[in-house]
Amino acid sequence: MKQIIQFLGLTALLFVFTGCSPSTETKKKGVIAYTPLTLSNPFFKVIGDNIKSEAEKNGYETVMVDPDMDVKKQSDQFDDFISQEVTAIILVPCDRLSIGPAVKAANEKGIPVFTVDAKCAAEGAIISGHVGTDNFQGGKLAGTAMINALGGNGGKVLILDFKKANSCVLRVNGFKEVIKTHNEQNPSEKIEIVAELDGNGARTEGYQSTADALQAHDDLAAVFAINDPSALGAYTAIEEAEKQNQIKIIGFDGQLDGKQAIKDGKVFADPIQHPDKMGRQIVQNIIKYLAGEEFEKETLIPATLYNKNSADKDPELK
CATH architecture, domain defined by 28-133+275-302 = 3-Layer(aba) Sandwich (3.40)
Separation in Å, CA 257 to CA 44, 139, 233, 234:
14, 20, 12, 14
pLDDT of residue 27: 64
In whole angstroms, give the CA distance from residue 108 to residue 287: 20
**pLDDT of amino acid 28:** 82
CA distances (Å), origin 155, targets 46, 219, 222, 234: 36, 8, 8, 17
HSE-CB at 37 with a 13 A cutoff on CA atoms is 24
Cα separation of 25 and 3, whole Å?
A: 27
In 3D space, the residue among 36, 171, 162, 44 whose CA is nearest the CA of residue 92 turns out to be 36
**What pLDDT score was predicted for residue 318?**
84
Number of Cβ within a 10 Å radius of residue 296 = 12
Question: What CATH architecture applies to the domain 135-272+307-312?
Answer: 3-Layer(aba) Sandwich (3.40)
Q: What is the pTM of this model?
A: 0.78
What pLDDT does residue 164 have? 86
**Extents of the domains making up the chain:** 28-133+275-302, 135-272+307-312
Query: Cα–Cα–Cα angle for 97, 101, 102, nearest 5°?
Result: 105
Q: What is the pLDDT of residue 7?
A: 41
What span, in angstroms and rounded, lies between the C-alpha atoms of 230 and 172? 14
Cα angle at 282 between 278 and 288, to 5 degrees?
Answer: 145
What per-residue confidence (pLDDT) applies to 166?
Answer: 84
CATH topology match: 28-133+275-302 vs 135-272+307-312: yes
Tell me the one-letter amino acid at 66. Answer: D
Confirm if 270 and 254 have CB atoms less than 8 A apart: yes
Q: Could you list the pLDDT tens digit for every one of the 318 residues in the chain?
A: 444 444 444 344 333 333 443 333 346 899 999 999 999 988 999 999 999 999 999 999 999 999 999 999 999 999 999 999 999 999 999 999 999 999 999 999 999 999 999 999 999 999 999 999 999 999 999 999 999 999 989 999 999 999 988 889 999 999 999 999 999 999 999 999 999 999 999 999 999 999 999 999 999 999 999 999 999 999 999 999 999 999 999 999 998 999 999 999 999 999 999 999 999 999 999 999 999 999 999 999 999 999 999 999 999 998
